[in-house]
Amino acid sequence: MMRLAAACLVFTCATPAHADWQGFKWGMKEKQVESAGSDIEVYRLEEPRSWRMRPIVSTLGGKWGLDGHEYELFFFFNEKGRLELIELEPVELECRDTLAAFSERFGNSEAEVSSIGPAKRTVARWQLGNDAVLTTLVLHFPNSEEWTCKSTIREPFPK
């Protein structure tokens, strides 16, 4: 019985702590995000960043590398000061290449393609483990070769 208990204790200690994404947990406060045990260096933004459609604000940023691509991160907190989502902006990767880069890394996505006026709209989603979803919205205006994209990582919506 003692051997079984010791084996369970060793297994429990060797198992990494549960984290929602890269060491950050949904619902963390700013100070917790700043001191999270992550490889991502978190820093305070000079100017807060807000979303037009939702009362969430980013006061913290970070840099994240994935498969040779660098992304600027923005940690968005809700009106209660809790981490709600993380926005990613490619640093050198062209917007038109984000879907291909994420698909190469995370596999096929759930994608919805539609038109909004002259633009082609693609929304792609990848499940990142049990506790995070990567969503990318890409608008492509073929006549002007204009591309716009927005990527977020957030807690999955309840099913």
10-residue stretch averages of pLDDT, the chain, 159 residues long:
37 43 94 92 95 90 92 96 95 90 92 92 93 94 87 86
Separation CA 143–CA 22 (nearest Å): 39
Q: How does 29-51 read in b/e, with b if 16+ C-beta sit within 10 Å? A: ebeebeebeeebebeeeeeeeeb
In this prediction, residue 19 carries a pLDDT of: 58
pLDDT of residue 158: 72
**Cα Rg of the chain (Å, integer):** 18
Place of tokens 């660098």: 70
Which segments of 2-118 are extended strands (E)? Answer: 42-50, 57-66, 69-77, 83-90, 110-116
pTM > 0.85: no
Structure tokens, 71:
């992304």
Residue 1: the pLDDT is 40
Distances (CA, A) of 59 to 49, 52, 68, 74, 79: 7, 15, 26, 8, 13
Secondary structure class of 143 (helix, strand, coil): coil
Residue 94's identity, in one-letter code, is: E
Structure tokens at 108: 């096929």
